[in-house]
Amino acid sequence: MSGDSSEPHPARQPYGARPASWSGYHRALRVLRRACRWRRRAATFAALGYFAVFLTLTVEAPALMSRPAPGGLPTGVLLALVQVPVTWAAVILFEYLSGRYVDPLARSVGGYARPGDGDREPPR
Amino acid sequence: MTDLGGSAHSWSLVAFCSVVTLTLLLCVLTGPDRDDLEEFYTGYRSLSPLRNGLAVAGDYISAATVLTIGGVIALCGYDGVVLALSTLLSLLLLMVLLAEPLHNTGRFTMGDALGRRMPGRAVRITACAVTVLSLVPMMTVQLAGVGQLLAYILGFSDSAMKTGCVIGAGTLMIAYAALGGMKGTALIQILKTVILLGSGLVVAVLLLHAFGWHPGTMVDTAARRSGAGEAFLRYGLQFADGPHPAADMISTQVAIVLGGACLPHVTMRMYTAGSARQVRRTMSWAVSSVALFMLLITVIAIGATALVGRAGITAADPRGSTAYLLGARAAFGPDVSRVESLLFSAVTTAVFLTLLASVAGMTLACANSLAHDVVASRRAGLPPARETTLARISALIIGVPVVVLAALAQHRSLQPLATLSFCVGASAIAPALVYTLFWRRFGRAGLLATLIGGSVATLVLMSGTRLVSGSPTAAFPEADFGRAPGWSPGHRPPPSPRPTSPGSPSPRPPWSPCLWASPAAGWPPWPAEAAPPAANATGTPPSNPSSSPGPHAGDPAGARGTDGRDGGDARNPDPAGTVAGRQAATRSPGRP
């Protein structure tokens, strides 16, 4: 299970003046958090970026978007329809990368016993 | 084009009755045990990723989505396609950004996810209030549309009958939510997604087949018969009346991308999967199904415009919300065999089931939040049996006012309500979730400020727009809240803020003319070759004799050729005619 609910800055020490522990549980957790953060940022920026470019083109270059593309469809409609298979590909890629890079880290965190003092459960 | 024919009516009626019986039966059979809280709220975390994914897709594709997006694509072309894409992107963002953290932090409701870091009743009550505020408008919109839709499908026009339909559908939705809980509604959502995708696939294949598998021809024909010509293929028709169409368009899309998938009835399904991996797989199925559906609705709605023409679509409903059904009907051609009319009733059943299921899912989300966040958080040791009963009663408490609201709002413009839902999602729920999950220093005061501030700002700003008042097509056309805060009944409201051009026949409608303006409001602003006949300006009841399923209804351009279901030349449409049509449309004066 990817412990992803909070995002400490790596340079900042999480709790008080306790020195950052770079072994065992804490290290695994930190690596997992970093992996999750990168996955989240890359996927979000990719999805939003493509759509932002598409919207910008739509609004700024309507002439380009209504020009017929190869295949008979207007460029804008073609670009829009292409997004559906791109979405499918993105979903498959996201799942593959997560299973390849993030899940093993989550399993390794689960392999350590949770220390009694650090990373306590947030108060309910 | 509004006459579906007697056999279609009777088939649809039979199909509806059997669907209602079957789904109620399913709900009762799979409903949770009386004292099992976990099962009522999450369905035991027992759904497989595929089933859960179909349920998420079912929750996400609401009836408002189907009808609205279908209408916008059919009437505004490109704008509608972009709208469909933003809807899809919203779910994709939910998958990559929020799904797993939400699953890890939440238990039953949004209040759980927010209250995990910031415990306290204030947070939970606010979360419940925002949940209700974001979902009740959406439910009202859909329920209010039930009467109109059933009147169209079943072929009656009595106003009392429509109200009866609204009340009946409302009773059903409360029954689904109260009897079935999460598990029962999930089953209905799965059923609905499968029927919707299956029937949509058949219709889309038939439509593409009618155009000889040339999507380009279909789009060209649609552009010609939409009456807008080249403008159909570029952005701007939907927001043609505003001073800043580009800004209008971008802000609308941003609101939908940020707000669409954050609505609580979608996020509540994140809690019903077993592990983070299963959440991911669930969302993969959901995103894939929604992507397929967006492709299908694009093909069907563009096909509707290509075969029926703008006149036929606006004659059935000025906002085009029946475009999906019209496209399906036109795909079967004028002569309908028994199999075809069965298929068509599958399409109508899918839409009907979509309506019932999505409203039931929203009722459940509101009821769960009310029971779990507000009532159960007050007393720590509430026995599970009591809380389950409470959740069932909450479904009634939420449902009854919604039915009353929907019955009252039937004849008003519902656009501000639908917009309100998405805007609350985008400006209150989305930031609250993102900050809570990813911002370590985000505290309780910030959370409350985000939730309350976002909601209040949305409400205040929305009430000042011309969607709500101050224009002929607003929800309250007789008032003008935006321009004159101290307006009183004896005082004549100031004129419309946007000066109309001298030649303009009437004040312009608010920023979404395609969706909600009636032809009487002087819209569309271009001299369309397929302008609605005068008889339709008053919102013709669905009994127009000239509107046979044939594609030429009221459209002089149709006689020129290329559309062709009747002429039998659909497989080999005349490219010269298409080009000529497009050029003619380009030469036409276009929008002012």
pLDDT higher than threshold 80 for residue B511: no
Say how far apart CA B529 and CA B557 lie, in whole Å. Answer: 7
CA distances from B411 to B324, B476, B516, B521 (A): 22, 11, 12, 16
pLDDT digits (tens, 9 = 90+) for B57-91: 999 999 988 999 999 999 999 999 999 999 999 99
Question: Nearest residue of B to residue A6 by CA position?
Answer: B438
Q: Residue B579: left if φ>0, alpha if ψ -120 to 50, beta else—which one? A: alpha
Interface of A with B in 96-115 (CB under 8 A): 98-99, 103, 106
Cα gap B548→B558, rounded to integer Å: 14
Q: Each residue of A88-107: pLDDT tens digit?
A: 999 999 999 999 999 999 88
Which chain B residue shows the shortest CA-CA distance from A71? B216
Report the chain A residue with the minimal C-alpha distance to residue B230: A66
By Cβ distance, the residue of A74, A91, A123 closest to B287 is: A91
Which residues in chain B have their CB less than 8 angstroms from residue A73's CB? 215-216, 219
- What are the domain boundaries of chain B? 6-463
Count the Cβ atoms, other than its own, within 10 Å of residue B386. 16
Residue A87 located in a structural domain: yes
Confidence bin at B487 (pLDDT 50/70/90):
very low
Cβ contact B86–A68 (<8 Å): no
Contacts of B413 (CB under 8 A, 6+ apart): B467, B473, B474, B475, B516
Q: Whose CA is closest to B131, among B114, B119, B107, B116? A: B114
Task: Round to the nearest angstrom and report the end-to-end CA distance of chain B.
Answer: 29
**Higher local confidence (pLDDT), A17 or B218:** B218
Q: Does A3 fall in a domain?
A: no
Residue B207 in contact with residue B328, Cβ under 8 Å? no
Any A CB within 8 A of B217 CB? yes
Cβ–Cβ under 8 Å, residues B32 and B384: no
Q: Chain A contact for B280, CB < 8 A?
A: yes
Give the closest of A5, A59, A77 to B81, CB-based: A77
- Of the partner residues B235, B281, B292, the one whose CB lies closest to the CB of residue A62: B235
Confidence of residue B119 (pLDDT cuts 50, 70, 90): confident
CA dist., res. B249 & res. A76, Å (int)? 15
Mutual angle of helices B245-259 and B78-93, in 10-degree steps: 30
Residue type, A115: P
Rounded Cα distance, B28 and B7, in Å: 32
Distance from CA of B144 to the nearest CA of A (A): 32
Q: Of the candidates B274, B298, B310, B328, which has an alpha carbon nearest to the alpha carbon of residue B51?
A: B274
Nearest CB to A83: which of B85, B95, B96? B85
CB proximity B216 to A under 8 Å: yes
- Under DSSP, the state recorded for B551 is T
Supply the mean pLDDT for chain A. Answer: 79
Query: What average pLDDT does chain B have?
Result: 79
Give the residue from B23, B350, B13 showing the smallest Cα distance to B200.
Answer: B350
Report the CATH architecture of B6-463. Answer: Up-down Bundle (1.20)
Provide the pLDDT for residue B580: 37
Angle at B369 between CA B367 and CA B372, to 5 degrees: 105
Q: How far is CA B81 from CA B32, B315, B564, in A?
A: 40, 22, 24
> Residue B584 to residues A43, B45, B216, B220, B528: CA-CA distances in angstroms?
45, 59, 18, 12, 12
Q: Is it the case that residue B193 has pLDDT exceeding 90? A: yes
Does A66 map to a domain? yes
Which amino acid is it at B288?
Answer: S
CA distance B63 to B173: 13
DSSP per-residue codes, B173-217: HHHIIIIIHHHHHHHHHHHHHHHHHHHHHHHHHHHHHHTTT-HHH
Does B579 contact A at CB distance below 8 Å? no
Three-class SS state of B525: coil
**What tens digit of pLDDT does each residue of B137-161 get?**
999 999 988 888 888 888 888 889 8
Rounded to whole angstroms, how far apart are CA atoms B227 and B523? 12
Tokens coding A69: 């593309």
What's the confidence (pLDDT) of residue B159?
Answer: 86
- pLDDT bin (cut points 50, 70, 90) of residue B538 is very low
Residue A18 lies inside a defined structural domain of this protein? no
Least CB-CB distance to B96: which of A5, A58, A94? A94
- Exposed, middle or buried, B30 (CB in 10 Å: 0-12/13-18/19+)? middle
User: In chain A, how many domains are there?
Assistant: 1
The whole-number pLDDT of residue B547 equals: 35
pLDDT tens per residue, range A18-63: 555 566 788 888 899 999 999 999 999 999 999 999 999 998 988 8
Q: Is the pLDDT of residue A71 over 70?
A: yes
Q: Does residue B589 surpass a pLDDT of 80? A: no
